[in-house]
Structure 1
Amino acid sequence: MALTSYLIRLPSLCVLDLVGEDATAILHNLTTNQIKSLTAEGETRDGVETFITNVRGKCLGHVFAFAIENGFRLIGAPGISGETDGQRQSTAIAEHADRYTIREDATPMIRDEDFAAWVVLQSNDTSLSVADNSVQPTTKPTMTCYDGVDAYQLPWVPAGTMYLLPSGSEDHVDTIAAATGAAAISAETAEFAVGDEVLFHQHRIAAGFPWYGVDLTDAHLPQEADREKQTISFTKGCYLGQETVARLDALGQVQKKLVRWRLQGVSPSAKPSADDKLFAEDAAADSKPVGRITSVGEVNENGVGMAMGYARRSHFDAGSVMVGKVGDVSYTAEVLPPIVGESPE
């Protein structure tokens, strides 16, 4: 089936540059993944997905790190919703880096408003609801540098590329079209269909990627996001919060975990919402919930859809089934297998 290329403008992302002679040492001390092997050489550069952890091992940030001249670029979700007065992810990470930089030469530079983020998303226009439990492939993060635009392959969606252009660029379609051809992305034409943020998040949920500030906050531990293989190096040496992360790895005792659910029996006109609770199939009326939804994807005309959220330990294995209710309509939520990731080791 032919693919359609959707061009989607994202809200300003977390874009933070950490620069200076000691940027590598500082970032190494604040992140869960191995960043010392990243280099700024070549037109295409590998990156890593990583958590910024605080002293308690909680997720202060969730970003991709790429080596740039004299430092690193961190890219991630904005970190807060438009209805929240809290800090953006970039501000929280910058203040965190400043707090642990004493005499070192490492300066965080918030670049959120310097760039416009566009995603060329590949879709075959079929339903994004899951028809089976097949595990989808993940994308290794890379950054490709062209004149006037940087292209990023990130596992945000099953198939697509994110472009950072200077804010205010009026020729973004021509620039992205040129980069699309150079990057040999599957779009064969410069003609893009118009997409929106809702479509982006439907594909993100299908890919099982957590959006910081929505599915993941500084209240969560790294292992609760179920992305250890993609984000945590257990051989890199000391970093802030390592003791907690290593202890959880040794004990294997997280009590909740982020999962993808296949929903069935949903009314397309009354979808579940973020923070809706899910219960065990045979739960009594006064039972505690065993799941909480954080993101809801597409629901098709047959009442089949996708969602992400946290399942309790008793129900976070693939195949576990729980039930929810919207109004008078009950539906089931089946836990899907996790996305297979590439180990940073």
Structure 2
Amino acid sequence: MTIKRLEELHDQSGAHRGPEGDIVDFGDPAAEYRAAREAAFLADLSGRGIVHVTGADRAQLLHNLCTADIKKLEASTGTEAFFPDAKGKILAYATLHMTDEGTWVDTEPGQAEALIAHLDRYVIREDVQLVDMAGTLARLHLGGPRAAEILASAIGSDPPAPPLGLWRGEVDGVPWIVARRDRSREGGYDLLVPEEQADRVWQDIVEKGREAGLRPVGSAVLAYLRIDAGLPVYGIDVTEANLPQEVDRTEQAISFTKGCYLGQETVARLDAMGHVNKLLRGLAIETSGPIDLPAPITLGEKVVGTLTSYSSSPAAGVTKGLGIVRTVANTPETQVEIGPDKIPAVVHALPFGD
């Protein structure tokens, strides 16, 4: 997705782009990283998928197709959820935010169409509408220790405090949806605004955050913050080869009391067993060099998992990764090796600690 005026604004602000056009940084990744940890950061996440689900039967449909207890959610609350197939394998991993009028579903870039197709298969006579909001809404993210005070100044109100809570209102005539969404250990908020007003909102946040030390950031900082917080990406760290409990987001995304849904038998069976054979883990990796992904994780001569993503801190000189690791090696502090070069690494529970 390209939002022309916002993209032009990024380029004017010194954005450095990667081979595929994504913003890597704004000229000083080390300073951007420090701002994210100590003050505030602003990121453009407009490439992410947004699906708006409306209609009288929307809650029932979503409830029947995902692992979360949708029916118990009230307006202005939210949940993470896995959408499994009949065998319990993960077809999608998303975050849902509830309103009186509909449900906003946040997906990884390029995955809204597939999720809509999956949901639409089960719409027969139900009153449900599925709308891909690409080209309509932009998604910005404001995070960091001082994000709440900057956002309060921008919207003239207290930001939503509960995890995945919502605030909706108008700011200088522009409709905003603010979702509490932690994309780093420092916390933060997603801002959904009309695409044609996104550059204006971006400039307003930058100006209001200037004294607090806010900096725009790109993928160099975002990737490290995401991995440090233990947040997997569907299609990279999690795929349709995985079962929901293997992702280690059970508390955030799975209800064991909601009743029947697609794939529920497998999820319930794993719960009854009390464990899974592999689990998403963090890896502190002793290198600052490149690693070809996916990379095997070995314990001695035995392959015990796969490194799926990694990032080096732009300022701290530390490399962290995520990977699916089998039970024999997924105890925290287990020493393993990565890739054919046998790069030393240590297994961590998620999120990473300081």
TM-score band, normalised by the shorter chain?
0.7 to 0.9
Contact 2:285 2:319 in 1 (8 A): yes
Counterpart position of 1:292: 306
Instruction: Give the alignment of 1:140-155 within 5 angstroms.
Output: 140-147=163-170, 148-155=175-182
Equivalent in 290, 295, 319 of residue 276 of structure 1 = 295
Shift of 1:316: 1.2
- Aligned residue for 1:36, secondary structure, equals helix
Distance 1:195 1:19, change over 3 A: same
Equivalent in the alignment of 1:228: 250
Residue-by-residue CA offset, 1:269-322 (whole Å, 9 max, x unaligned): x23242111211xx2xxx342121111022578863211011112111212210
> What SS does the corresponding residue of 2:271 show, helix, strand or coil?
helix
Residues 1:333 and 2:345 are matched in the alignment: yes
Query: Counterparts of 2:338 and 2:205 in 1: how far apart (Å)?
Result: 42
**Are 1:205 and 2:227 an aligned pair?**
yes
Secondary structure of the equivalent of 1:289? Answer: strand
Deviation sequence 1:166-203 (CA, Å, 0-9, x none):
1132302245469xx7xxxxx57476422102211110
Give the counterpart of 1:33 among 68, 72, 75.
Answer: 68
Contact map agreement 1:271 1:299 (CA 8 A) in 2:
no
Distance 1:91 1:300, change over 3 A: closer
Contact 2:79 2:96 survives alignment (8 Å)? yes
1:89-108 to 2 correspondences below 5 Å: 89-108=111-130
One-letter amino acid of the counterpart of residue 334, structure 1? V
Structure 2: which 5+ residue stretches go unaligned?
Answer: 1-33, 147-161
C-alpha change, 1:164 and 1:301, in structure 2 (3 Å) is closer
What aligned pairs does 1:122-133 form with structure 2 within 5 A after superposition?
Answer: 122=144
Structure 1 residue 157 and structure 2 residue 169: aligned? no
List gaps (5 residues or longer) in structure 1: 79-87, 125-138, 182-186, 341-345
Secondary structure at the counterpart of residue 77 of structure 2 = strand
- Out of 331-340 and 101-110, give the one that drifted further: 331-340
CA offsets per residue over residues 62-84 of structure 1, 9 Å max, x none?
11111123321111222xxxxxx
For residues 54 and 308 of structure 1, what CA distance do their matches in structure 2 show?
24
Provide, for residues 214-237 of structure 1, a one-character-per-residue CA deviation record: whole Å limited to 9, x for no partner. 211222110110111111000011
Answer yes or no: is the 8 Å Cα contact 1:273–1:295 preserved in 2. no
TM-score scaled by length of structure 1: 0.78
Q: Structure 2 length normalisation: TM-score?
A: 0.76
Q: CA deviation at 1:324?
A: 2.2
Q: How well do the aligned residues superpose, as a CA RMSD in angstroms? A: 2.6
Distance 1:97 1:304 in 2: 41
Taking the aligned partners of 1:177 and 1:144, their CA distance within structure 2 comes to: 20
Contact 1:273 1:296 in 2 (8 A): no
What residue identity is the alignment partner of 2:86? V
Give the drift of 1:105. 0.6
Corresponding residue SS for 1:92: helix
The 8 Å contact of residues 143 and 183 in structure 2, kept in 1 or not, is answered as: no
2:167/2:178 contact within 8 Å kept: yes
Structure 2 CA distance for partners of 1:23 and 1:301, relative to 1, 3 Å: closer
Sort the Cα spacing of 1:236 and 1:191 in 2 relative to 1 into closer, same or farther, 3 A: same
**Cross-structure match for 2:100:** 69
Matches for 1:49-68 after TM superposition, within 5 Å? 49-68=80-99
Q: Equivalents in 1 of 2:43, 2:222: separation in Å?
A: 7
Q: 1:151-190, aligned counterparts within 5 Å?
A: 151-159=178-186, 160-169=188-197, 170-176=199-205, 189=211
Q: Secondary structure at the match of 1:235?
A: coil
Letter in 2 for 1:249: D
- Give the residue type in structure 1 aligned to 2:81: T
Partner AA of 1:17 in structure 2: H
Aligned counterparts of 1:244 and 1:312: Cα–Cα separation in 2: 19
When structure 1 is superposed on structure 2, of 2-11 and 50-59 the one drifting more is: 2-11
Instruction: Please give the secondary structure, in 1, of the residue aligned with 2:255.
Output: coil
User: CA 1:36–1:194 in 2, change beyond 3 Å: closer, same or farther?
Assistant: same
Partner of residue 321 from structure 1, selected from 329, 332, 335: 335
Summarize deviations over 1:60-107 as a string: whole Å, max 9, x none: 1111111123321111222xxxxxxxxx32112211111111111111
Whether the 8 Å contact between 2:68 and 2:82 is mirrored in structure 1 is yes
Per-residue deviation, 1:257 = 1.2
Share of identical aligned residues, percent? 30
AA of the residue aligned to 2:62? L
Name the CA distance, whole Å, in 2 between partners of 1:234 and 1:336.
26
Q: What do the CA deviations read for 1:10-67 (whole angstroms, capped 9, x no partner)?
A: 2421211111011111111011011112223xxxx22111111111111111111111
Partner Cα separation in structure 2 for residue 219 and residue 251 of structure 1:
19
